Amino acid sequence: MELLRARGIEKVYADRPILRGVDLSIGSGERIGLVGVNGCGKSTLLRILGGAVSPDHGDVFARGTIALLDQDPVLPGETVGDAADDAIKWHAELLAAWEEALTNGEQERADELQAKLDDRGWDVSHTVEAMLSRVGAPPREARCDRLSGGERRRVALARCLLGAPDLLLLDEPTNHLDADTVEWLQVWLAAQRGAVVIVTHDRYLLEAVATRIIEVEDGVGVSYDGSYADYLIERAERRSTMERADDQRLSMIAREAEWASRSPAARSVKQKARLERLAALQSQRGFKKDPGFALDLRTGLKHGGTVLEGHGVWKSYGGRTLLKNVDFGLVAGDRIGILGPNGVGKTTLLRLIMGQDKPDKGTLVRGARVKASVLDQERTGLDLDQTVFEAAGGGNDQVKVGEGFVHVASFLGRFLFTREFFTRQVRALSGGERARLLLAKLLLQGSNLLLLDEPTNDLDLQTMRVLEEALMGYDGVAIIVTHDRAFLDRVCTGVLAFEGEGNVVRYASRQQYLSAQAAKLEAARAEAKAEARGEAKAEVKRAEPVAEARPPAPPRRKLSFKEQKEFEELPVRIELLEAEQAKLSARLVDPGSWRDASTDASALSRRLAALPVEIDALMSRWSELGARA
């Protein structure tokens, strides 16, 4: 069933055309990835589809409910609890409509509404707290007007998911989420029964979730069936074909123009037709090649030894220990990812390294001639009232790049800022364009210690690949806080993982860290089962004192032959289910699994969600029988 149809969508901001005729159709259950370079109009198109912005031309026809996660969401109500409760008012309305249909004797409508309630649940109030907790939202009593941008987006994401819409529109939903939450969201979206349109720079998420990719290219939408990997292949083939066709068109124009310049006045019908064909060829929109740029962050500075060292570093806030006796040493060429959930102390570590804060105990030592630069989450370092030209040049017409000077206009051109951008204020740039401008400024600073806090937020996939290549050839030390798993896996030479209670451990890679965490979890489960067995045996051996004034306790009912057999088999059944749970989790997180056409993502995700309930039930039964064994 078609949920939404958009035809001829056009949008212009000031004198800048953004969308010039987008057509698309979204069917029930589709999961669409919306991609394109920064500033191409992805967010604008998403807002138009969600009804937050009206197109200049074109129409949008939609059926069912739509939820939009905007980049700058507005929350209803005074508190987080108010905003979350508002998101499930649809359930009360659905329940009231069902009761009204029953009262009015509208049996067919009542059956239809009952089917929806059966599908979505008759009681959803308990899911509100679970959802807020899962996305890392602030407490219910927190005031909405005092939330940070990241907190506001997490609450808005929870609202979208709680709303159970027919069509979910998500603009960079992974921004401000930690890696564990991103992996959970990936599984949740893959199992979502409604349709999803998502703008994201997370390639693993796109590969796992999307069944179709729509690229906003030169103001129109180009659709590619299949996963993100399928899109990359088909796009390359399509653009190669288009480039050859455009080269042929240009060659024909050159030949026809030469003929027209030396031909006598066109009088015959044949000559007029040939001139008309030349005019038609010239009026066709030319092929727009992919813009490209390079980023070289190398400083060329010669230094040996350690660039940055930490010795016995401690840091606490409000009685909570964030760093406990942390030691590390980083040398030139190290690219270290920082792992851990939100609020665990990753940003605190960056502040300590920058000297913006002091450790309670221990020391942080920088090597000689170390110059640090920061790219933070809030993208500070840009004056929003300056023009792009002023921001890049710092008021000068020329900037120093390497050993020489180049004009600011030429320098901006390297970062895909055409002359139309030069007089535009920074505040008018998209999030990705601001990030690209900050990357340009990083190049000018020539730093040998880079601190990057969520550097991939708002970057398009092309710019992200350019940044990856630049970091992989970087001759200094890069410390990177990011939830982007693909970025970490490709760029980092090691990770520092926050493992709770202030402990920070270094691993060779994110995969080694995940393997270590899985081993710890398995060991904890085995220990818990061993303790449960010990408690059950102790319960059997424990004698119950009998007071003289009381009648003797009735004899304990022994296990029947069938129950004894069940008791002996339960540990094996529990271990099998836990193994299945671990295997499914690994399979659904692995992007490669989604390229297999035989994979039923929805079925696997529902099975993964059901396993904890089955395991708990078996554990309860095992404890019950163990008390009587």
| Residue appearing with tokens 């699994």 | 593
Q: What is the 3-state secondary structure (H, E, C) of 202-237?
A: CHHHHHHHCCEEEEEECCEEEEEECCHHHHHHHHHH
**Measured distance CA(555)–CA(558) in Å, rounded:** 9
| Residue appearing with tokens 């926050």 | 498
**Measured distance CA(187)–CA(606) in Å, rounded:** 9
Name the β-bridge partners of 407: 398
The pair of three-digit structure tokens given for residue 482, joined into one six-digit string: 């990011």
**Measured distance CA(147)–CA(80) in Å, rounded:** 9
Name the β-bridge partners of 20: 10
User: Do the beta carbons of residue 48 and residue 9 sit within 8 Å?
Assistant: yes
Q: Any idea where the domains of the chain sit in the sequence?
A: 2-231, 306-508, 513-542+555-626
Name the β-bridge partners of 405: 400
| Residue appearing with tokens 């989604």 | 594
User: Do the beta carbons of residue 20 and residue 40 sit within 8 Å?
Assistant: no
Q: Is 318 exposed, middle or buried (0-12, 13-18, 19+ CB in 10 A)?
A: exposed
Could you tell me the end-to-end alpha-carbon distance of the chain, in angstroms, rounded to an integer?
A: 56
pLDDT digits (tens, 9 = 90+) for 286-339: 666 666 667 777 776 665 668 889 999 999 987 889 999 999 999 888 999 999
**Measured distance CA(20)–CA(55) in Å, rounded:** 10
Q: What is the pLDDT of residue 177?
A: 86
Q: What is the pLDDT of residue 218?
A: 85
Q: What is the pLDDT of residue 614?
A: 73
Annotation: CATH topology of 513-542+555-626: Helix Hairpins (1.10.287)
φ, ψ for residue 454 (rounded to 5)? Answer: 50, 60
**Measured distance CA(506)–CA(349) in Å, rounded:** 14
Contact residues for 503 (Cβ-Cβ < 8 A; gap 6+): 324
Q: What is the pLDDT of residue 473?
A: 86
**Measured distance CA(352)–CA(219) in Å, rounded:** 45
The pair of three-digit structure tokens given for residue 624, joined into one six-digit string: 């019950």
Contact residues for 260 (Cβ-Cβ < 8 A; gap 6+): 266, 274, 275, 278
Q: What is the pLDDT of residue 624?
A: 74
User: Do the beta carbons of residue 412 and residue 389 sit within 8 Å?
Assistant: yes
Q: What is the pLDDT of residue 597?
A: 55
For every residue of 87-144, DSSP letters joined together read: HTHHHHHHHHHHHHHHHTT-HHHHHHHHHHHHHH-S--HHHHHHHHHHTTPPPTTSBG
**Measured distance CA(584)–CA(590) in Å, rounded:** 10
**Measured distance CA(164)–CA(188) in Å, rounded:** 12
Q: What is the pLDDT of residue 176?
A: 83
The pair of three-digit structure tokens given for residue 444, joined into one six-digit string: 């000018």
* CA contacts within 13 A on the Cβ side of 502: 17
User: Do the beta carbons of residue 44 and residue 55 sit within 8 Å?
Assistant: no
DSSP H or E run through 407: strand 404-407
CATH 3.40.50.300 fits 2-231, yes or no: yes
306-508 matches 2-231 in CATH topology = yes
pLDDT digits (tens, 9 = 90+) for 67-81: 999 988 999 989 999
**Measured distance CA(588)–CA(209) in Å, rounded:** 10
- From edge to edge, which strands make up the β-sheet containing 57-62? 16-27, 2-13, 57-62
Distance from CA of residue 451 to its chain's centroid? 21
Beta strands at 504-507 and 494-498: parallel, antiparallel or unpaired: antiparallel
φ, ψ for residue 457 (rounded to 5)? Answer: -55, 125
Q: Is 538 exposed, middle or buried (0-12, 13-18, 19+ CB in 10 A)?
A: exposed
Q: Which residues of the chain have pLDDT under 70?
A: 256, 259-272, 274-275, 278, 281-293, 300-305, 402, 532-533, 535-559, 586, 588-603, 605-606, 609-610, 612-613, 616, 628-629
Angle at the Cα of 303 from the Cα atoms of 297 and 308, rounded to 5 degrees: 80
Pick the CATH number of 306-508 from 3.80.10.10, 2.40.50.140, 3.40.50.300, 3.10.20.30: 3.40.50.300
